[in-house]
Structure 1
Amino acid sequence: MEDKQDPIGAALLDKMRGITGAEIIVESNLTEDDIMPVDYLFRNHGEMPELEQLALAACHGAVLDIGAGAGSHSLALQEKGLPVTALDISEGAVEVMRRRGVQQVLHQDVWQLQEQKFDTLLLLMNGIGIAGDLLGLSRFLKHARTLLRPGGQVLLESSDILYMFEEEDGSVLLDLNAGYYGEVMYNMHYQGHHTGWFKWLFVDAAILQDYAQEQGFSLELLYEGEEGNYLAKLTFEN
């Protein structure tokens, strides 16, 4: 039976079937509906933004590509000769990655991953969002320590979305009773498939640094974009 809770996987499979121009609808509690073009998920290295190219260049050793999607980052790392494992909870995404030639693919939830060790954990396209909220961020960083070899690193992309709460006069309007402003609710749709509402975290670099230090990581910013997005490297000596 086809899984109707896998809109990304269904869209990726349609792309592999030759359907062009497909779009995933991204609904949130923060803004109007957004559109994710499926074709963008199949970009090659030269089509990737500077942040992603920097992240791929910073990868070393055995890499775990978390939330690998269509496998574009994993394929780029394979071309560099790095041993990379692409992980995704989407059954459709896993099938697409295998068809595209990703050599090591895991259909698994990263939270359940045990025993395997890596030198680099890679979380692009705001991948640290899987933490869901700040409590989940602590949980993820603690779990990341168990997945890293000595001298290992976490390369992650996130954004400070405070600008989304700015008023026309430049002031910021926040509901202080609503929790951290970077904890967002999402629901994705594609051709009858839907995820249901889920939490996704956008964390500003200062708070990330605080949480990283609590878990024994040091933080270095490798890239800062004009719209609050950034690439961070967390290192931990086991």
Structure 2
Amino acid sequence: METETQAGAGAETGARSGAALAHVEPATDDAIGHLLLRCLSAGAEPGAVFEVIERSDGFVGVCDAAEYFAPFEDWPTRERSLISRARGAVLDIGCGAGRHALHLRERGLDVTAVDSSPGAVRVCRERGVPARPGTAGELPCPDGSYDTLLALGANLGLLGGRARAAELLAEFARVAAPGARLLATGRDPYASTGRVHTDYHEANRRAGRMAGQLRIRIRSGAVAGSWFDYLYCSLPELEELLAPSDWTPVEAFEDPGGGYGVVLALRR
């Protein structure tokens, strides 16, 4: 077995010779699931585990993974306002660690939770939420089954862009019962005014994309997820996306920092 002294001497020799360490790319896997499982194992304590969000232009953001497990009293005001409007059979799309589903189940509502991450589904089940694997574009749910659909935690971002939004809004309408409501939160990209963001908006426009159409991947430790489009859009842009769909906005809540919540009604 190599001693610490030998290991240190080897490292010093390598440094003197100018030898470079090999660059190792992160393993591509279920990064969000990896993140949530790590956080659950750490007791969901704030500051224990962090999510890294890498944007295609090299910009990196960091979030405390404990937010996925936050109790109701720590949620943003817009989420607390929206969740109070849930009724009947509820579908939680992109359920993450299941915080919204858990709250509604405690209120006695029948909740179906869906996430594309196997790790997220596992975390939900370990927390008592009977989650199902599935994507927002292909929901594992029968037609006309749900009175309330949730896309909280900024999950309006799943709309991705103009073409993807049309597909997802149609899929949401397929599983919605007559008179259903979609409760969702998103973010206005124009609330971020720094040059690194406005340059990204302009690059998107030149490429024929929506300004807030982010190309991102999630990082957790040495694991990275696949790259995907995630949409930040203003409320006027959201109304444009909704116009040809079966959904119409009936209520909106805006935060000073650019976050917002909306209640969408099924037209038919």
Q: How does the TM-score come out when normalised to structure 1?
A: 0.89
Matched, 1:220 2:243: no
Separation (CA, whole Å) in 2 of partners of 1:181 and 1:95: 35
Supply the AA of the counterpart residue of 1:79: E
Q: Does 1:17 align with 2:41?
A: yes
* 1:184-199 matches, cutoff 5 A: 184-199=214-229
C-alpha displacement of 1:233: 1.1
- Conservation of the 8 A alpha-carbon contact between 2:136 and 2:168: no
Q: Could you tell me whether the CA contact under 8 Å between 2:138 and 2:171 is conserved in 1?
A: no
User: Who is 2:69 aligned against?
Assistant: 42
Aligned position for 1:208: 238
Q: Whole-Å Cα distance in 2 between the matches of residues 187 and 4 of structure 1?
A: 10
Contact 2:170 2:246 in 1 (8 A): no
Residue identity in the other structure for 1:10: H
Pairing 1:51–2:75 present: no
1:1-238 to 2 correspondences below 5 Å:
4-18=28-42, 20=45, 21-29=48-56, 32-102=59-129, 104-113=130-139, 114-116=141-143, 117-165=145-193, 174-175=202-203, 176-178=205-207, 179-238=209-268
Range that drifts further, 158-167 or 186-195 = 158-167
Amino acid at match of 2:175: L
Q: Deviations over 1:93-133 (max 9, x none)?
A: 1111111111x311111322242421111011210211211
Q: Which moved more, 1:139-148 or 1:19-28?
A: 19-28
User: How far off its partner does 1:75 sit?
Assistant: 0.4
Q: Secondary structure at the match of 2:243?
A: helix
CA distance in 1, matches of 2:246, 2:101: 28
Larger C-alpha radius of gyration, 1 or 2? 2
| 1:44/1:215 CA distance change after superposition, 3 Å | same
Flag the 1:42–1:82 CA change in 2: closer, same or farther, 3 A: same
Residue 143 of structure 1 aligns with an amino acid whose one-letter code is E
Residue segments in structure 1 that go unaligned for 5+ positions in a row? none
SS at match of 2:125: helix
Alpha-carbon distance in 2 for matches of 1:100, 1:106: 14
How many angstroms does 1:18 deviate by? 2.9
- Over 3 Å counting, the alpha-carbon distance change for 1:121 and 1:186 in structure 2 is same
Please tell me the residue identity of whatever aligns with 2:136. V
Q: Read off the aligned partner of 1:6 and give its amino acid letter.
A: D
Q: Is the 8 A contact 1:63 1:83 kept in 2?
A: yes
Q: Distance in 2 between matches of 1:31 and 1:160?
A: 21
Q: What is the total number of aligned residue pairs between the two structures?
A: 232
Q: Take 1:75 and 1:110, find their aligned partners in 2: how far apart are those partners?
A: 20
Structure 1 outlier segments of 4+, above 6 Å: none
- Which structure 2 residue ranges, 5 or more long, are not aligned? 1-26
